[in-house]
Amino acid sequence: MALNLHVRVHPVVLFQIVDAYERRNADSHRVIGTLLGNVDKGIVEVINCFCVPHKETVDQVEAELNYAMDVHDLNRRVNSNESIVGWWATGHEVTNHSSVIHEYYARECNNPVHVTLDTSLQGGRMGLKAYVCVSLGVPNGKQGCMFTSIPIDVTCYDPEVFGLQLCQKTIGAGGGRSRNVHPMLDLAQVSEAGSKMGVMLDQVLQYVEDVLSGKTQANNAVGRALLDLINSVPHMSNEQFSEMFNSNVKDLLMVITLSQLIKTQLQLNEKLTLLTSV
């Protein structure tokens, strides 16, 4: 079928896969599960997933398909727009058993995709790969199928990005030990974003200096992007800017005063109503 499929995965799916792998039974080396999402014009968007218990021996594989159907039904009651788009497995290669499982999923949906997440950390990385099954062989002779890889990348809703950034702070320096992280207060986040922007500006300045002194080759695309950047800053005369600034600051200060006033009034109200015993 269409080989120009492109898979987009949401971070929740990857979190779920890692968690399922960590909770696997002591005797299994691999975990598998179903991928849920929707397909649209050659782009498969994977939004959710769940784990399916299965047993694998050298020559046999069993997966609890009733369980898979049950959980899919339960899930559909909450997210009615998610359908089965494929299945996932941990591990770094596609085995013979995979084709059996893939066949089952081919019955459930049209052209399932198979995603693997390499939790065994081969080569020092946790590789994320996607495959579809392409049938090959002579039409009247032996038919087989082959897993070919398709491009896969990660996409997020906006709040997911922020959630991810917050969770990423647990990647502590020093051996990757897990640290605890609090959801931060607003001001701290603003200051952090500000310093991040400062760092990025430093990098850009460094690049410009290098180009000017001849250390790096000038790149036209980057130059054009820099020009866009400079032109996107709105030009305002000093008076206009201070006018806007002052009016905004006054508004905000007024709102702060009002809200503090409301809080004090609430406390007074509480005391007064409790005092009047009838």
Partner 1 sequence: MASRGGASRRVPENDSTIAYVQADGLAVMKIVKHCHEESTTNMDIAQGALLGLVVENRLEITNCFPFPKQNDETMDEDEYQLAMMRRLRRVNVDHFHVGWYQSADVGNFLSLPLLESQFHYQTSIEESVVVIYDTQKSSRGFLTLKAYRLTPQAIEMYKEGEFTPEALLKLKVGYENLFTEVPFVIKNSALTNIMMSELAEMVPEEEGSKFLDLGTASVLEGQLRCLMDRVDELNQEAIKFNRYQQLVSRQQQDKHRYLQKRSQENAARAAKDEPPLPEEDITKLFRPHPVPPRLNPMIIAGQINTYSQAISQLCSQSLAKLYITQALQNAKETNANP
Write out the binding residues for partner 1, residues 198-227 only, by CB under 8 A. Answer: none
Candidate list 43, 197, 218, 268; residue touching partner 1; CB under 8 A: 197
- Whichever of 108 and 160 has its CB closer to partner 1, that residue is 160
Residues 6+ away with beta carbon under 8 Å from 33 = 16, 17, 20, 49, 50, 51, 52, 87, 88, 89
69 binds partner 1 (CB under 8 A): no
Write out the binding residues for partner 1, residues 136-165 only, by CB under 8 A. Answer: 153-154, 156-165
- Tell me the closest approach of the beta carbon of residue 143 to partner 1, in angstroms: 34
Q: Which helix (H) or strand (E) holds 132?
A: strand 128-137
- The tokens of 178 are what? 């897990």
Q: Which helix (H) or strand (E) holds 27?
A: none
- The tokens of 142 are what? 């032996």
- Tell me the closest approach of the beta carbon of residue 213 to partner 1, in angstroms: 20
- Tell me the closest approach of the beta carbon of residue 64 to partner 1, in angstroms: 8
- Whichever of 13 and 133 has its CB closer to partner 1, that residue is 13
256 binds partner 1 (CB under 8 A): yes
- Residue 99: name the closest of 38, 139, 143 by CA: 143
Distances (CA, A) of 204 to 89, 143, 212: 41, 56, 12
- Tell me the closest approach of the beta carbon of residue 264 to partner 1, in angstroms: 10
Give the binding-site size for partner 1 (rule: CB under 8 A): 92
Interface with partner 1 by CB under 8 A: which range of 91-99, 132-140, 220-228, 254-262? 254-262
- The tokens of 139 are what? 């039409």
Write out the binding residues for partner 1, residues 41-60 only, by CB under 8 A. Answer: 47-48, 51-53
| Number of Cβ atoms within 10 Å of the Cβ of 7 | 28
Interface with partner 1 by CB under 8 A: which range of 93-101, 190-198, 207-215, 220-228? 190-198
Q: Phi then psi for 8, rounded to 5 degrees?
A: -120, 125
Write out the binding residues for partner 1, residues 89-128 only, by CB under 8 A. Answer: 117, 119, 121, 125-126, 128
- Whichever of 4 and 180 has its CB closer to partner 1, that residue is 180
Cα(239)–Cα(235) distance, integer angstroms: 12
Candidate list 185, 199, 228, 232; residue touching partner 1; CB under 8 A: 185
x/- site string to partner 1, residues 4 to 43, per CB under 8 A?
------xxx-xxx-xxxxxxxx------------------
| Number of Cβ atoms within 10 Å of the Cβ of 56 | 17
Candidate list 41, 107, 182, 215; residue touching partner 1; CB under 8 A: 182
- Tell me the closest approach of the beta carbon of residue 269 to partner 1, in angstroms: 7
What b/e sequence results for 204-239 when a residue is b if at least 16 CB atoms lie within 10 Å of its CB, and e otherwise? Answer: eeebeeebeeeeeeeeeeeeeeeeeeeeeeeeeeee
